[in-house]
Amino acid sequence: MYINSFDERLERIDWEPSAVPTRQMIDSVLASRLQLQPRGAMLSLAGAVTGILIGVGLKGMMVPGSPWGPGTGLVGVAGSVLAQAGFAVSVVAALMAAVKGCKAPRLMQFASINLLMIAVLLLS
């Protein structure tokens, strides 16, 4: 049905000027809003520690004297695989955080610090 005027619309929804919203209506409106998640230092710290571990692993793959460096056999292969897998997961997490930045701010916080620490260690 097509409603022409504003008054007809108000009559159709049974609106009264003195009516107050019910408690259920207020609760439903407040529940539908996204809750803001507080950003703590724990995610930044976890991202930094994880990034440092992955960065040290990647850096140690090229240093001849390290326990998982070149010429260390099976231990070197295992350490290299772990470091490369960690780096791959970090890059994927950073890409996901870039795509879902607004919906997942905690992932963005962790992934950005993580990738920053890896880059800092690799460039040092």
Tens digit of each residue's pLDDT (9 = 90 or more) over 18-72: 667 777 777 777 777 666 665 678 888 999 999 999 999 999 888 888 888 888 8
Return the pLDDT at 39: 63
Q: 97, 35 in Cβ contact below 8 A?
A: no
> 75: helix, coil or strand?
helix
Return the pLDDT at 49: 95
CA distance 24 to 107: 34
Q: 90, 111 in Cβ contact below 8 A?
A: yes
CA 21 → CA 4, 27, 47, 81, distances in Å?
Answer: 26, 10, 45, 60
pLDDT at 3 over 60: no
The angle formed by the CA atoms of residues 71, 77 and 85, to the nearest 5 degrees, is 140
